[in-house]
Amino acid sequence: MRRFALIVRMIRANQTGTVVFRKAAVTSAAVFAMTVITVKPSAADSSASIALRGIVPPRAVVAFANIAGGAAIELATAVRAGTAMIDLTTMGNSVARVKMSLIASASAQKRTLALTTADGSSIPYQVRFAGEDLQFINGEALLRQASQDGFGTLEFIAPQAATVTKNYSDHLIVVVTAK
Amino acid sequence: MRRFLFLLIIVLCDAPGPAQACALSIETTSTTSFAGAAGRGYDVFDPTTYFQPLTFRVRAVEGTCPFYITAGPANSATGVGQLLGTGGTLSFAVYREANDAQVLRAGALATAAEVLTGRLKEKETASYQLTYAIPPQQIVAAGAFTGDVEIAVYEGNVGSGVLRARQIVPLSTMVAAVTELSFAQGQFDPNVGVYLLNFNTMHRGDIKGVTLHTRSNGGYRIYLRSVNGGVMRQLVPLDNSAVPYTLSVDGKTIPITDSDIQVVSFPGATSPSGNAHRVDVLIGDIAGVAAGDYADLISISIYSFR
């Protein structure tokens, strides 16, 4: 029966110790070094926590790609030729509702989209967004509802009217609301 | 000749002995291991003074006599003794009763105000109770501490008494390794372990912080980890948006993750009020981050050196 003696000396955390391993019947001894790695105890003496809280506010931006000046656009010149197309981009970090409002429009009173002149004459027109006719309800039409950045083309269509000699205009507002 | 020897024995037996009016003995009856609060021994940071009873009996083994008792730390001229341990020295004192200010001294140094007096008839026993205390917030390392109380009983009056019995009572206590942390900003309170850093509406560059207080009688390490791996996540996740933040401890940026990372290593003992470590959180770029309520939980663990 073989018997072994294992002698361990001076082994502590982060220290190098020596393990002497002797086989009783053999005169020579194998000696090797080992390092004890610091091991974090399994149970903390005490613990605490810091709770972080914060709000990223909803944010939405609307922009026209080819019209400067923000969300108010003048269509008087644009529709005279019959059709105008404006690229509309919405950006935000939340669910955004992009609406077109007739609040400032002369069409609001007539409950129909129309370009008007100062003397009261008018030309009806249509508005499409992304190829769909806009349906105005209570003076507002929903263009888009999304949580991601969006892009679409607003299309204004007026009947061809070769006799038009006056400047007809309407005033629409695009409103983007984030929540 | 035989008659002479017999008479001599009779005479010797009738002769008066040494002048000893009574023989007294002492027997301690209480535990002499200092229990502290709830039997935990001596807590170096506990501000409360715990008085522990020291009970003993005096018995008149033979004779009847007035006597007085002295008690106090052994080998102390001041009445303040020492409990010695590998982690240092704890002072202690013996009192007549709890919350008493007058420390008692043992042996011949005791004055009339520092002794107990009594009178016993032969074979009678009287019980006595003193107290001893280890003054609070002596910061020593963990380990076992031992010292001695001397109890002595004298026949007669203070100043002219004759020592009749003397007993050395060993005292001991354990001092545990104590390592605690707290967010309390006034007096250290280890029960204040949760802190809310509420940024409300966040903007890039917003910074908030808190001072973490730590104390230990043997050194400590602090580890941090983040539940969300170092970012704030939406309370109601709509997507994988995250608010990045930078965490610093004592001005040093910490690459915090969801695994423990050591942020502080402090060897040795602190004062009872502890060390202060500043933890700051700096909000990163939130452009493109979805709107919503965000949160993270930073877990802090402290380990004593052992």
Position B228 scores a pLDDT of 96
DSSP-assigned letter for residue A75: -
What's the whole-number mean pLDDT along residues B254-279? 95
- Which of A40, A49, A56 lies at the smallest CB-CB distance from B260? A40
* DSSP helix/strand/coil, A40: coil
Q: Which of B175, B197, B226 is the last residue in one of the domains?
A: B175
- Looking at the structure, do residues B61 and B149 belong to the same domain, yes or no? yes
What's the whole-number mean pLDDT along residues A98-109? 65
- Looking at the structure, do residues B188 and B95 belong to the same domain, yes or no? no
Query: Which tens digit of pLDDT belongs to each residue from B121-180?
Result: 889 999 999 999 999 999 999 999 999 999 999 998 888 889 999 999 999 999 999 999
**Which ipTM was obtained for this model?**
0.78
- For residues B208 and B280, the answer to whether their CB atoms sit within 8 Å is yes
What's the whole-number mean pLDDT along residues B212-218? 95
What's the whole-number mean pLDDT along residues B72-97? 94
- Which of A44, A54, A56 lies at the smallest CB-CB distance from B290? A56
The reply to whether residue B200 touches residue A54, judged by beta carbons under 8 angstroms, is: yes
DSSP-assigned letter for residue B97: S
The reply to whether residue B301 touches residue A56, judged by beta carbons under 8 angstroms, is: no
- Looking at the structure, do residues B125 and B170 belong to the same domain, yes or no? yes
* Domains of chain A (ranges, CATH numbers): 4-35 (no CATH), 60-178 (2.60.40)
In this prediction the pTM is: 0.69
The most distant pair of C-alpha atoms in chain B lies apart, rounded to whole Å, by 128
The range of the structural domain enclosing residue B214 comes to 179-304
What's the whole-number mean pLDDT along residues B114-124? 91
Does some domain include residue B10? no
Position B247 scores a pLDDT of 98
- Looking at the structure, do residues B163 and B80 belong to the same domain, yes or no? yes
**What does each C-alpha distance from A152 to A5, A75, A129, A131, B149 come to in angstroms?**
83, 18, 7, 9, 93
User: Closest Cα of chain A to B225: distance in Å?
Assistant: 9
CATH number at residue B292: 2.60.40
- For residues B222 and B264, the answer to whether their CB atoms sit within 8 Å is yes
Q: Which of B70, B78, B43 is nearest to B54 (CA)?
A: B70
- Looking at the structure, do residues B157 and B196 belong to the same domain, yes or no? no
Question: For B158, what's the count of Cα atoms within 13 Å in the CB-facing half-sphere?
Answer: 17
User: Closest Cα of chain B to A176: distance in Å?
Assistant: 15
The reply to whether residue B202 touches residue A56, judged by beta carbons under 8 angstroms, is: yes
Chain A partners of B292 at a C-beta cutoff of 8 Å?
A: 55-56, 94
Query: Which uninterrupted H or E stretch holds B77?
Result: none
Q: Which residues of A touch B (CB under 8 A)?
A: 40-41, 44-59, 92-94, 147, 178
Burial of residue B300 (CB within 10 Å: 0-12, 13-18, 19+) is: buried
From CA A159, how far away is CA A23, in angstroms rounded? 107
- Which of A40, A48, A57 lies at the smallest CB-CB distance from B201? A57
The most distant pair of C-alpha atoms in chain A lies apart, rounded to whole Å, by 123
Comparison of pLDDT for A14 and B297, the residue scoring more: B297
- Looking at the structure, do residues B183 and B171 belong to the same domain, yes or no? no
How many other CB atoms are found less than 10 A from the CB of residue B263?
A: 20
User: Does residue B211 register a pLDDT over 90?
Assistant: yes
What are the tokens at B136?
């609070």
